[in-house]
Structure 1
Amino acid sequence: MQENPNKKTSRTGSQHHDSDAAHLATLGYKSEFRRDMSPWANFSLGFTYLSPVVGVYTVFAYALAQGGPPMIWSLLITGLGQLLVALVFSEIVAQYPVAGGIYPWARRLWGRKYAWMTGWVYLIALFVTIASVVYGAGPFLAQILGFQASVDSTIICAILILVLATIINFLGTKVLAAAAVIGFTAEIIGALAVGSWLLLTQRHHNLGVLFHSFGAQGSHSYLYAFAAAGLIGTFLYFGFEACGDVAEEVPNPGALIPKAMRRTIYIGGAAAMFVCLALVLSVADIPAVISGKDVTPVDTLLNAAFGPVGAKIVLGIVLISFLSCTISLQAAASRLSYSYGRDDMIIGSRLLKKFSAARHIPPHSLLLSAIVPAIIVLGSKVSTDALTKIVSFASLGIYVGFQMVVLAALRARLKGWRPSGKYQLGKWGLPVNIGALVYGIIAMIDMCWPRTPNAAWYDNYIVLVSGAVVVAVGLLYMMIHRSYGHSNMPYNDAIPKKHDSHQSVHALNTRD
């Protein structure tokens, strides 16, 4: 008698779910999420968070003006650096596939106080990044709708995008997964189509231009200009960690999420390089961008290549990328705040850990990830300059959160941690971990480096100042509320305890 293959697949899936639930139980949790997110959707979530179209289109003009065409090579350097970070994260999530990512990883690798600060910095960075993405999308939507460019129209359009992203997230994991796949498909097709069309119809330079700075460095060393232009890469290459933020919504996460993280870097990086290459080779007057005569080279190029109607269609594709990016960011932020709430680690935990049995999502955590970014966006009505100062923290905060986990992993390794998940680097674990930390430190120094000597000191050091303010507020909160001590959930358990080693030796001697 032949077995029904569908029945066999169903039984295999059920075994995976049982195994995932059992693994999570050993870590101290019983998940309320449904494992409805396929490997493809999990990758798409990371890709749309990384969003090569959003990243390149947003920072291209700045990077080209700072470093000229050779700035494209910074994408390769930062991509390799962040791949090292992704490999470290892959080992961690394989052993600790818990919703929230950065915070629970730091908790298991180091301890409660360290995890609280890691989660705090990363959560604020996510809120600010959501605000910066929807605010950056505002002018695109306003242009499509025919609104007059203004702060008011940008705010209204930004809030509309934020509301739409929130509604999609409220519909549950299946809808989130579908939105991520649709966003990925639209973005990758758009990137390939627009890039190919530009290369076919608007190309003004050959590949040799990628080694020509056009004097962008001025009187400085070109290394200084390249470092400034390299911010395009540091702004772009994160998002892979979102694959791990939803670890309790993916079947067999220990094996599948590490693959999704690496693919996010490979495919997202390749798409970003292609888009950037097409734009560089198609900008007719590069010196005009460097001198500041053309401050919107992307708009200039799209209008020339596609005309008014075609440019609006391209802007529509870009807008889908912005929306997908917002949805993914919001999903990551809500899972992190839910994870915080589930462990009673912050004021409002009673609400943040509430779960919708119907939708299988944390509704109050999702609302928080909409309300805080909305407040930041509305703040631009009072002062656009203030919004710029707040947003300047976004990339640094995410890198700080990353590197706190990388440092915790390195410390744990040196204290005896041996990754035991389904993905392991083996003998390469320590050198990769060290390389990821060195890269992260260099990237953060580059972000904080003062580049406006004629500005007031607090503007010249705005990225560093904003980072210091977030950390200081977090430390003050920890001193006053001491939320980090409210939870009895496991922590610092990656590192073998001395008595465990003695028990292991005793057990071996007994067997002998």
Structure 2
Amino acid sequence: MTNTTDRKETINQSDIPKEQFNRSIGLLSNFALGFTYLSPLTAVYSLFALAVTLAGPPAVWWILIVACGQLLVALVFGEVASQYPITGGLYPWARRLWGKKYAWIAAWIYLWALVVTITSIAEYTSTFVGSLFHFDASPGNMLITSMVLLLMMMAINMSGTKNLARVARIGFWCEIVSVIALGLYLLIFHRSQPFSVLFDTMGIFAKDGSYATAFMSAALMGLFMFFGFEACGNVAEEVKNPSKKIPLAMILSIVFGAISAIISVLGYLLSSPDLVNIVNGNTADPIPAILNDALGETGAQIFIVIAIVAMLSCILSLQAALSRLIFSFSRDNMLPGSAWMAKISKNSVPDNAMVISCLLPLLVCVWVYFQPDNLSRITAFAVIGIYISFQMVVLAALRQRLSGWKPAGEWSIGGWGMLVNILALAYGICGIWLLAQPAEGSDFIDRWTVLVGLAVVVGSGLIYMVIARPFGRSHIATEETLAFTQEQKSEQG
């Protein structure tokens, strides 16, 4: 009988592709990649006003709640990534934990969620660029700016993984300056509210007369903020010592993201001299007003430049994550044109997959140009799509644990694995439920936009799966991998 070591070697060799990356990403760069994708600055700036008008200052507690929940998910991902450090992240993980069809749907949802997320960040960044260069935020200007930004980030991505890592590190320090340093400055030198205001609902109640309902409606600020850490695993084959470094980079992304976001939001809340007007929705865009008051016009402009660099780094990280997912899909012959998209350039970058990773968001940007009101709708879909794909991996891991699987990577949480896995799944289901709640609107699309978008994506994925049967084209030995798990279980038990 083949011993466990030989069996593992066979499986690992079957997973090694002809096209291979260079391992040039260290722990700091891998962490920076996940952190800049998570981008606390983007989430805070985009959703601060909405969250505060929905639930008042206590909305800040959603940052800690979601950070704790996503940390559970990151621990599960860490064990899976340590055993299967393969480019593509969620797709190869789901495939090895459950199977081809299951992985196809999980990755299909994740793919389109990433496309929409890139579009959303590019559009938000365009508003900053417009503010910096003083041009109108018309649909035409936003479209042109978004296209230029996406093409610029694609060019940097295609220049090589080392440049990706360098820009990610620059973006990391811009995030630190724009959220932590600025937040501390506001708290120390411009605080005008007591800390007790964080427990003051300021008279806000939901239509049903309950503050609890109002507080739950503000969950989006936290839920939108804490994904992106999985990007650390999307580039697994480019990371040095990935089995140990990727799990740590994921955890660091969550922890530092929570710290920076809390400091940033506290800075804006407690330095606002007119917080009541912000809560009542009378100040449409409160952060620029707070910054102008605290920093002056010149200081606010400097902040905008730093914010743009941080957001561009976020787009760069998102493009890298999406291109590696498409490459991983194509390497398993799962998409039309797979042979073309599964090639790696001399710069050790999947250039063709990168082109598609830029082209798809560009097309969505054109759609937003004709339907500008759809930006908020597609952003909402992106969040729930990513959470569902996350939880499909968490569920697959729990299914394997119940069958006796014990993670065999170099990084593990040991006997806590089962409890953490169950809690991560429970948290994820609650998060999905919150995201799926109908929005207040006058028609069906406005109220159920998230679920309608999700149904379209899942439905199209299922139709393609049934007609094209992409899951049947690959020769990756999923069953053999799981058989090794059972053999490992027998020897350990």
- Other-structure match for 2:350: 362
Whole-angstrom distance in 1 between the partners of 2:119 and 2:485: 46
Indicate the residue corresponding to 1:83 in structure 2: 71
Change (3 A) 1:502 1:251: closer
Match of 1:188 in 2: 176
Task: Tell me, in whole angstroms, the C-alpha distance in 2 between the residues paired with 1:502 and 1:35.
Answer: 31
CA apart distance, 1:463: 1.0
| Cα distance in structure 1, aligned partners of 2:260 and 2:9 | 36
Q: How far apart are 1:193 and its partner, in Å?
A: 2.7
What displacement does 1:492 show? 4.2
2:253 pairs with 1:254: no
Aligned 8 A contact 1:21 1:30 in 2:
no
Deviation at 1:38, TM superposition (A): 1.1
Change (3 A) 1:498 1:155: closer
Change (3 A) 1:455 1:503: closer
Question: Which residue of structure 2 aligns with residue 276 of structure 1?
Answer: 265
- Aligned: 1:297 with 2:286: yes
TM-score normalised per structure 2: 0.94
CA distance in 1: counterparts of 2:487 and 2:265, whole angstroms: 53
Deviation (angstroms), 1:22: 9.6
**Residue 297 (structure 2) aligned to one of 304, 308, 330:** 308
Of 468, 483, 489, the match for 2:470:
483
SS in 2 for 1:234: helix
Q: What secondary structure, in the 3-state scheme, does the structure 1 residue paired with 2:344 have?
A: coil
Contact 1:339/1:353 (<8 A) preserved: yes
SS in structure 1 of the partner of residue 405 of structure 2: coil
Query: Who is 1:437 aligned against?
Result: 425
Q: Does 1:265 align with 2:257?
A: no
Residue in 2 that maps onto 1:333 = 322
State the one-letter code of the partner of 2:186.
L
**Equivalent residues of 2:14, 2:476 under 8 A apart:** no
Partner residue of 1:384? Answer: 372
Q: How does 1:115-130 map to 2 (within 5 A)?
A: 115-130=103-118
Provide the C-alpha distance between the structure 2 equivalents of 1:320 and 1:21, rounded to a whole number of angstroms: 43
Shift of residue 504, structure 1, vs aligned partner: 6.3
1:446: how far off?
0.4
Quote the offset at 1:392 in angstroms: 2.2
Identify if the C-alpha distance between structure 1 residues 184 and 22 changes in structure 2 by more than 3 Å, giving closer, same or farther. farther
Query: C-alpha distance in 2, partners of 1:272/1:386?
Result: 27
1:11-410 to structure 2, matched below 5 A, reads: 24-25=12-13, 27-30=15-18, 32-219=20-207, 220-356=209-345, 358-410=346-398
Q: Is the 8 A contact 1:21 1:31 kept in 2?
A: no
The answer to whether the Cα contact below 8 Å between 1:108 and 1:493 also exists between their aligned partners in 2 is no
Residue by residue over 1:296-331, the C-alpha shift from the partner in whole angstroms, topping out at 9 and shown as x without a partner, is 111211122222222111111111111010000000
- CA displacement at 1:407 relative to structure 2: 0.5
Does the aligned pair in 1 maintain the 2:405–2:486 contact within 8 Å?
Answer: no
| Correspondence 1:458 to 2:445 | yes
Residue 378 of structure 1 aligns to which amino acid in structure 2?
V
Counterparts of 2:485 and 2:70, CA distance in 1: 34
Kept in 1: contact 2:404–2:489 (CA 8 A): no
* Pair 132,503 (structure 1): closer, same or farther in 2 beyond 3 Å: closer
Over the residues paired in the alignment, what is the CA RMSD in angstroms? 2.1
Q: Which runs of 5+ in 1 are unaligned?
A: 1-19
Q: 1:473 aligns with which of 436, 440, 460?
A: 460
Separation (CA, whole Å) in 1 of partners of 2:463 and 2:65: 37
> Is the CA contact (8 Å cut-off) linking 1:27 and 1:96 kept in structure 2?
no
Contact 1:24 1:31 in 2 (8 A): no
> 305-314 or 398-407, which moves further after superposition?
305-314
The amino acid across from 1:469 in the alignment is V
Q: Larger radius of gyration, structure 1 or 2?
A: 1
1:20-59 deviation per Cα after TM superposition (whole angstroms, max 9, x unaligned): 9999536444551100111110000000001111111111
- Is contact 1:109-1:493 (8 Å) kept? no
Partners of 2:260 and 2:107 in 1: CA distance: 30
Give the distance between the partners of 1:76 and 1:404, measured in 2 at CA: 23
| Cα distance, 1:498–1:349 mapped onto 2, change above 3 Å | closer
Instruction: Give how far 1:211 is off.
Output: 0.2
TM-superposed CA distance for 1:501, in Å, is: 8.1
Q: Is the 8 A contact 2:405 2:485 kept in 1?
A: no
Contact 1:24–1:97 (8 Å) recurs in 2: no
Give yes or no for contact 1:237–1:265 (8 Å, CA) kept in 2: yes
Task: Answer whether contact 2:11 2:477 (CA < 8 A) is retained.
Answer: no
**Identity among equivalent pairs (%):** 42
- Once residues 493 and 228 of structure 1 are traced to their aligned partners in structure 2, the CA distance between those partners, rounded to angstroms, is 45
Q: Is the 8 A contact 1:159 1:374 kept in 2?
A: yes
Which residue of 2 is the match for residue 9 of structure 1?
none
- Mapped to 2, the partners of 1:148 and 1:27 lie a distance apart of 51
Cα offset, 1:410, TM superposition = 0.5
Seen in structure 2, the aligned counterparts of structure 1 residues 129 and 258 have a Cα distance that, compared at 3 Å, is same
Q: Match for 1:467: what amino acid?
A: L
TM-score of the two chains, using structure 1 as the length reference: 0.91
Once residues 496 and 400 of structure 1 are traced to their aligned partners in structure 2, the CA distance between those partners, rounded to angstroms, is 27
State whether residues 154 and 358 of structure 2, in contact with CA within 8 Å, keep that contact through their aligned partners in structure 1: yes
Any conservation in 2 of the 1:72–1:273 contact (CA below 8 Å)?
yes
Partner of 1:415: 403
Distance 1:37 1:388, change over 3 A: same
- Between the aligned partners of 2:242 and 2:16, the Cα distance in structure 1 is 17
Residues 19, 344 of structure 2: 8 Å contact kept: no
Helix, strand or coil at the partner of 2:482: coil
